[in-house]
Amino acid sequence: MIRINTNTRIAIIGGGISGLVIAHRLQKKGYKNVTVFEKSNILGGKLHTIFYRNKSYEMGALFGMPCQKHLKTLMKEFNIKADGPKLSRVNYDIKGNEIMRIPKELLGDFVRELNRLPDVLVKYKSLEKINIHNIEEELMLPFSRWCEINKFNVLKTVYAHYITSYGLGHIEIIPAVYVLRILNYDNLMSFMELPDFCTWKDGVFTLIECLSNKIDDVRLTQNVNSIHITENKTILVQTDFGLDEFDKVIITSSYNHFKGLFNDKKMLFFMDNIKYQNYTVYAFITEKVPNKCGFVLENIPMIRKGHILIWNSRWGVSSDKELVMVYAYNNPKNSMETALNIIKDDLTELGFHNSILYQYRNWHQCPYVDSSILREGFYDKMETIQGKNNVYIAGEIMSTITMDNCIRYSNYLVDSYF
Ligand SMILES: Cc1cc2nc3c(=O)[nH]c(=O)nc-3n(C[C@H](O)[C@H](O)[C@H](O)COP(=O)(O)OP(=O)(O)OC[C@H]3O[C@@H](n4cnc5c(N)ncnc54)[C@H](O)[C@@H]3O)c2cc1C
């Protein structure tokens, strides 16, 4: 058994779910000097609940799935109930007409492909591990190519609906390893059973509130600008308010400010090649919201970037004013005004009138590296630097997205290295 020094001073950069789960688990293990640095004035990162007329709405993560056991365990620990509204889903064309997700004539193929999927997935041992490691060559290919090789022609379309609509990118680019870790067989099946999803009446922030109440030293509005290793192998964390000394540091945010830590050409090359999705969430005040969540399937192809992918009316039909949340990829060529006008035109086509923008959020989410960088050994390299100079890395690039994956990887990091 590893003997731990409970006086070790540990800094965690980022107060999203990854950072908070790490802090909580370290404290539970007995560490007494755990500090979370968060640049924003609130914790939570991409778990970001807002309120309008006393009702909660989500600008970031919306739901958990019944099969996500790490999320469920965390909820159980804090006695958090999934007491939020039920989700629903209807597929639309761009004119707002309801359409079938898969044409009727392909339903038979769909069922056959779905039945074959577990037998194909079982051969990829790397998918079973918590840390991404020894990725099989086929999984490094873009997901659409992987589907073609494995003859999943209908599943490819179904996956694209979820992957692209929920901001994970386009399957012609994103390597299969990410798609299949985020939407494994169980998660895919859960997606077919939307009514069982967990949501929370007071929003997903409920999880953050419970976690943060347990953490002794949380420092808000303290953007970490840089991190330095001293000659004595201690670590100096620099914020605008000064320097603090630690023995170990765990980075859960992006690494842009901290490249200086990795005095290694290959590592710097890898860091420069981490890409993000530019995913935008608009909250509109609107009237007579329909009781549904709509997927606009015709906007999934890359050429339709900037158009609405999903709209979500969380609380259902109401005669009062409500918020409708709208999701789209940000087309970097467009100004904010142009981008908003495209969305407003789409809303009108879909049947929403006089929508007023209440709030907006552009996320850099779903970090990934492309097939060529995976082939160069990105994740094997990331693994070798864990703990070097007492610096550790966690967060979405290591865990892949979803709250459940972030919780799982955060627990793994603490159990493996602390
Ligand atoms: C719109 C949207 C919808 C989503 N829907 C779902 C969903 O329904 N279900 C699901 O499971 N997942 C969903 N996700 C994904 C999920 O929210 C994320 O995978 C998860 O929240 C990531 O947590 P994290 O702590 O690793 O990163 P983050 O939440 O990004 O946290 C990182 C934190 O670090 C802070 N930070 C950054 N730089 C610094 C610095 N220099 N110094 C100090 N602090 C810093 C940031 O402010 C942030 O708080 C969604 C994400 C988005 C954007």
Nearest alpha carbon, ligand 1 atom 16: 402
Ligand 1 pocket, mutate which of 36, 401, 408 (most atoms under 8 A from CB): 401
Give me the pLDDT at residue 261, please: 84
Q: Does domain 9-49+204-274+369-417 have CATH number 3.90.79.10?
A: no
Give me the pLDDT at residue 393, please: 95
What is the 47 CA–ligand 1 centroid distance (Å)? 6
Q: Which residues of the chain, if any, have pLDDT below 50? A: none
Give me the pLDDT at residue 218, please: 98
Give me the pLDDT at residue 319, please: 67
DSSP string covering 204-250, please?
Answer: THHHHHHHHTT-SEEETT--EEEEEE-TTS-EEEEETTEEEEESEEE
Which atom of ligand 1 is closest in space to residue 363's alpha carbon? 53
Question: What is the reported pTM?
Answer: 0.96
Give me the pLDDT at residue 41, please: 97
What is the 318 CA–ligand 1 centroid distance (Å)? 31
Give me the pLDDT at residue 318, please: 67
Give me the pLDDT at residue 399, please: 96
Do the domains at 9-49+204-274+369-417 and 88-196+275-368 have one common CATH topology? no
Pocket of ligand 1 (CB under 6 A): 13-19, 37-40, 45-47, 60-64, 167, 223-224, 252-253, 257, 279, 281, 363, 365, 395-396, 401-404, 406
d(CA 225, CA 222): 9
- Rounded (10°) angle between helices 403-417 and 17-29: 30
Ligand 1 pocket, mutate which of 22, 24, 46 (most atoms under 8 A from CB): 46
Which atom of ligand 1 is closest in space to residue 361's alpha carbon? 1
- Please tell me the CATH code under which domain 88-196+275-368 is placed: 3.30.70.1990
d(CA 173, CA 144): 8
Give me the pLDDT at residue 86, please: 85
What is the 60 CA–ligand 1 centroid distance (Å)? 8
Give me the pLDDT at residue 157, please: 92
Give me the pLDDT at residue 326, please: 95
Tell me the domain boundaries of the chain.
9-49+204-274+369-417, 88-196+275-368
Give me the pLDDT at residue 194, please: 61
CB neighbours (10 Å) of residue 72?
Answer: 18
What is the 16 CA–ligand 1 centroid distance (Å)? 6
